[in-house]
A and B are shown apart, each in its own frame.
Chain A
Amino acid sequence: MELVVFVLASVMVVAGAFGVILRPHPVHAALSLVLTLFGIAVHFVALGAHFLAAVQIIVYAGAIVVLFLFVIMLLGVDKSENLRIEPLPVQRPLAIVIGVGLAGLIIAAAVRARDRIAEGPALESGGDSNIKALAQNLFADHVFAFEFTSVLLIVAVAGTVMLTRREKRGDAS
């Protein structure tokens, strides 16, 4: 059963990822990104991270992708890009070589570390206990970092508003 879930979710993740990088149309790429994010959320549920799965759906698929689609529509860049044009001649083969090399290196590292991560106690994965454990960890051990993220969000929002504000006509600056 776990195997079936793993294979299906992995197919979703990889198919969505290829959709993001291969689809010429930005809207299709954003929708492929949703597929990938849902697959990751399924993996999170299978790994007992129920709260993070919910946050993944709400924040990533719900907010970030909608923000992407909103910007695509706002700017009117929703037309297909011609992927046949290749401005830098060797860029694509080089990128594929680098990507395959990167994947090979990380997979080799994971396989080498296989024995060290083979055994260990699995995390308690009951529905409530995951959220409780995460909350205790977040609000007791990492409370300073948690408060700091609120500062980060405020700064990000204020900075973005300043950045995208249209300047008034006649304003010298």
Chain B
Amino acid sequence: MLAAMQPTTTWYLVLSALLFSIGAVGLMVRRNPLIMFMCIELMLNAVNLSFVALAFRFGDINGQTAVFFVMVVAAAEVVVGLGIIISILRRRPGATADDLAELKG
């Protein structure tokens, strides 16, 4: 009976919600800017998973195209973000996210 059960789209959406929430909690809790970036990646992946699950369910390829664009934008975002982190940490080694308040005018 158990082998006959098929994972439905709702299961994928629930997994995606869990992953998104874990990423959000990590973003709020961790202070290392690199790990905060990894948590943003987790949240983006959660959204990608729900896009693909719904594209599968409705037979619509547009969902997969959206995931493709999300991946491209995520790559660009990581490049720019890591550049900013490098230039900050080069000036102040060991800076945490709290120290970035100096960016205020």
Contact = CB atoms under 8 A, between A and B. Distances in A.
Interface of A: 1-3, 6, 10, 13-14, 17-18, 20-21, 26, 29-30, 33, 36-37, 40, 43-44, 46-49, 51-52, 55-56, 59-60, 63-64, 67-68, 71-72, 74-77, 81, 87, 91-92, 94-96, 98-100, 102-103, 106-107, 110-111, 114, 117-118, 120-125, 130, 133-134, 137-138, 141-142, 145, 149, 152-153, 155-157, 159-160, 163-164
Contacts of A13: 15, 19
B61 A123 contact: yes
B71 A106 contact: no
Contacts of A157: 79
A120 to B, nearest CB: 5
A23 to B, nearest CB: 9
B89 A2 contact: no
B9 A152 contact: no
Given A91-B29, A110-B10, A1 B3 contact: yes
8 contacts: A21-B23, A43-B52, A52-B71, A55-B68, A60-B41, A68-B38, A149-B72, A152-B73
Interface in B1-22: 2-3, 5-22
B89 A110 contact: no
B12 A47 contact: yes
A46 to B, nearest CB: 8
B80 interface: yes
Given A3-B6, A106-B20, A87 B31 contact: yes
Given A125-B56, A160-B83, 4 more contacts: A26-B35, A102-B17, A107-B17, A123-B59
Interface residues of B, number: 76
B31 A14 contact: no
A11 to B, nearest CB: 10
Sorted nearest first, the 3 A-B pairs with minimum C-beta distance are A21-B26, A99-B25, A106-B17
